[in-house]
Amino acid sequence: MKCFVNFLISACLIALLGSGVGCGNDASKAAASASVSVPVPLTNMVRITAGTFQRIRFPVTLTRDFWIGKYEVSQGEFQTVMGLNPSHFTGLSNHPVEKVSFVAASNYCVKVTAQERGQGHLPEGFEYRLPTEAEWEYACRAGSTNRFYFGSTLDGGDAHAWTAENCEATTHPVGAKKPNDWGLHDMHGNVWEWCSDWFEPYPAKPLTDPTGPATSGTNKYKVFKGGGWNQDLQYAGASSRFMMSPSNGIHFVGFRIVLSTR
């Protein structure tokens, strides 16, 4: 960020000395097309440091830092970027967008990437995208080895998660429940969240930077994680997973975004 600010100041000085008209359109265009050495993330992106987590019996190692959304993507954010709102519980701008397909969620990431690249906020190779299943679970656990980031039993669920026990059969504003230790809200409950992996049985061995099967193969479904308003807390554990066709949207599945290299 500091480098980018310094660049802007330099661009203004060059324009001022060269033309005598200050930081005008030409300088602004030059700044917008400039590449930065580190990403300038959107507001409410939380940086996650690379590391290892224990997924049931085997370690999973992530070798690259990444940023992940502090909140699920809201209806208002989706409407602003895509110009439409597919949600079942419509007209609730601070609730998570739902009934959004994997394809539509991916398109949102592509459009945000294009916008941020146009603003000069992304170094070459960085993009907004859906999290891998491993990135999602690592971020959800926030260092915990328990079933939930808040513990190994259902106690404490009401403070941290909107699930069937407390949600009154609807979504709720993002961020209303307590976050995990890394500051992420609604990792358990509110809406389930799309991940980028094709679904197959999770490999029973140590893994490094897993991205799931390269292609769908015989499987035709994408993974989603974390439980939602439609089911009890017992189904919202950090390692639990479910799947659906990437072209389908349903009123209990939404997403959050990651900023990283591919």
| Residues that bind Ca ion in the complex, under the rule CB under 5 A | 186, 190, 226
For residue 242, the cross-strand partners are: 224
Distance from CA of residue 81 to its chain's centroid? 15
Residue 114 beta carbon to Ca ion: minimum distance, rounded to whole angstroms:
26
Sign of the alpha-carbon torsion through 184, 182, 145, 210: positive
Residue 227 beta carbon to Ca ion: minimum distance, rounded to whole angstroms:
7
Residue 162 beta carbon to Ca ion: minimum distance, rounded to whole angstroms:
8
Which residue minimizes CB distance to Ca ion? Answer: 186
For residue 96, the cross-strand partners are: 74
Q: Which is nearer to Ca ion, 16 or 167 (CB)?
A: 167
Residue 96 beta carbon to Ca ion: minimum distance, rounded to whole angstroms:
7
Residue type, 84: L
Are the CB atoms for 66 and 48 separated by under 8 Å? yes
Q: Which is nearer to Ca ion, 127 or 186 (CB)?
A: 186
Q: Which is nearer to Ca ion, 74 or 190 (CB)?
A: 190
Q: Which is nearer to Ca ion, 39 or 96 (CB)?
A: 96
Residue 190 beta carbon to Ca ion: minimum distance, rounded to whole angstroms:
5
Residue 67 beta carbon to Ca ion: minimum distance, rounded to whole angstroms:
17
Q: Which is nearer to Ca ion, 209 or 232 (CB)?
A: 232
Q: Which is nearer to Ca ion, 113 or 190 (CB)?
A: 190
Buried b (16+ CB within 10 A) or exposed e, 27-63: beeebeeeebeebbbbebbbebeeeebebeeeebebe
Q: Which is nearer to Ca ion, 8 or 92 (CB)?
A: 92
Residue 189 beta carbon to Ca ion: minimum distance, rounded to whole angstroms:
6
